[in-house]
Each structure stands twice: as structure tokens, then as C-alpha cells.
Structure 1
Amino acid sequence: MSSQAIQTPLKTAAILIGRLIFAAVFLMAVSFKFMGMGATAGYIAAAGFPFPLFLAWCAALLECALVVCFLTGAFFSQAALVAAVYVLFLGFTFHGPGHWAANQDEFGFFVDHFTFLAGLLFAAANGPGRVLTLNPGWPGRA
């Protein structure tokens, strides 16, 4: 019998707590955006991107979708992969090597993104678990 055939209560709890943590992180991020969309747009503009307000709204909508996916388990692995790409992009764009000389704290923020990236990749590979998970009926998924 494989280790995936039986999901222990401890594994179930760990998966659910992990999903809640992912959702909470993105919920906090989107909350800050909604409370200060102009400030978010300013941060995006300072990084040199065009249409900063549009991009801020796109980021907020993406983060809302990620929260829903992590809480429900629907499209979980796909959402975790999208989140991983998003977190990698944010790490390099807003905290990458070009920012370290001006503020050494930025290196810590950069490394934090990679820690989060590792968790997202692990989650994408292992899925949302079987408890409190919507199954959208994707091919190959039980």
C-alpha cells in the first residue's frame, strides 16, 4: 500500500494548515492592495512598469483567485504553480540583486521569496489533500 493511499490525521492537518497559510499570505497581500491601490501602483511605477494602476488591479485579482483556490482546493496544483511564478517574479523585480546595495534588508526579502517558492512547488507537486477539497473534474485527477 502506498503512502498516498492512506492519509493520516497528522498529514491531513498539515496540508490544511499549509493551505490556510498560503491563503492568509495572499489575503494579507490583496488586503494591502485594496486599502492602498494608489500606493501599490506607485510601487509598481517605481519599478519602471507601464500602466501601474492597471497592473496593481491585475495583481489584486490574481491574489484573490489564489486565495479562493488555496481555501477550496479547486485547481490547487495549477494555482500553486501560478503563485510560484508570481512569487519568483516579485522576488527578482522588487527585491532582487539591484536592490541589495541600497538596502541590505532587501536580500532577506529576496531569500524569503525563495522559501515561499519552495513551499508552493512542494504543494503543487503534492496537491491539496482529500479533505475540504473541491474537485473540478480535471482529467487524471481522482
Structure 2
Amino acid sequence: MNKLNLQNSTLPLIGRVLLAAIFLISGVGKIAAPAATAGYIAAMGLPFPALGVLLAIVVEVGAGLLLVLGYRTRLVALLLAAFSIVTGLVFHNAIGDQNQLIHLLKNFAMAGGLLQVAAFGAGAFSLDARTATPAVRTA
């Protein structure tokens, strides 16, 4: 494998792992302290905070793991991009507070990276590449 092929194979994997890390760490944090997360959700005026915690854990941990593995990557990346935008707008909308603005922009930047993954796929080191048909694999 030449240097360019190695980069084209390795960089998407590294990118997926780095993008997934924030979701996995955040999801594990919610598992460790669900009451705190439910309180935050309730404080934002959203209904059914316990259900919100469960949904957030499933999305963050489940989709985060799928992103790392590169399984159904385009769909997972779109889901996580939408999740990032929605959660940013709901939980970090006080843009007069510089910290909240930074968090909102972080969510938007993550969504941008995830949209790149959705557009270009998982790369060679992924379950998607292993399960693709030969015609799709060469595309």
C-alpha cells in the first residue's frame, strides 16, 4: 500500500474515532449520572426528562460506537449531525454567554465534520467497506 492509499485509508478511521469520542464520553457520563442529566433537561423546559436521558444515551453511545466501527456510517453521521445541531440549539442557545456560544459553535463544527463523513463515507477501514459489494467498493 503506498503512502497516499495508507492516508486515504487511515485518515477516515482516525476522523471517525475523534468525532465519536465526544459522543461516547458524553453518553458514558449520562449513564454515570442520569439524574443530573434529567435535571438539566427538565431545567430547559423539555418534557419527559427520563426519556430524554435514555434517548441521549442510546444516540450518543449507540451511534458513537457505530461511527467508530464504520457501520451504516453515512446514516449514522447524518443522525449525529442532526443530534448535534438540535442539542446545540436547545441546550446552548444563550449566545450572550461566551461559554454557551463556544459550546454551540462546537456542536455546529461537529455537525460539519459529520456531514463530511456522510458525504464521503467511512473509508477503507470500516465495516461498511467490508460488507460493500465489489461494484460499490471501487466507487
Quick check: TM above 0.5? yes
Matched, 1:133 2:139: no
Deviations 1:93-118 (A, max 9, x none): 0112xx123x2211111111111111
Residue 100 of structure 1: which of 88, 95, 119 is its match?
95
Does 1:120 find its partner at 2:106?
no
Do 1:81 and 1:120's aligned partners in 2 also have CA atoms closer than 8 Å? yes
Name the residue aligned to 1:44.
41
Match for 2:79 among 82, 92, 100?
82
Q: Deviations over 1:22-43 (max 9, x none)?
A: 2211110101101100000011
Runs of at least 5 residues in structure 1 that lack an aligned partner in the other structure = 1-6
TM-score (norm. length: structure 2): 0.86
Instruction: Quote how far apart the aligned CAs of 1:119 are.
Output: 0.2
Residues 44 and 52, structure 1, Cα contact 8 Å, conserved in 2? yes
- Determine whether 1:34 maps to 2:27: no
With a CA cutoff of 8 Å and minimum separation of 6, indicate the structure with the bigger relative contact order.
2
CA contact (8 A) 1:75 1:136 kept: no
Q: Note the residue ranges of structure 2 that are not aligned, 5 or more in a row.
A: none
Task: Give the aligned residue type for 1:71.
Answer: V
Which amino acid in structure 1 is aligned with residue 28 of structure 2? S
Please state how far the C-alpha of 1:72 moved relative to its aligned partner: 1.5
State the identity as a percent.
30
TM-score by length of 1: 0.84
Once the two structures are superposed, residues 55-102 of structure 1 have per-residue CA deviations (whole angstroms, 9 ceiling, x without a partner) of: 101110111221221121111000000000000001100112xx123x
Shift of the alpha carbon at 1:141? 4.7
* RMSD over equivalenced CA pairs, Å: 1.9
1:137 CA displacement: 5.9
Question: Which one has a larger percent helix, Structure 1 or Structure 2?
Answer: 2
- Three-state SS of the structure 2 residue aligned to 1:10 is helix
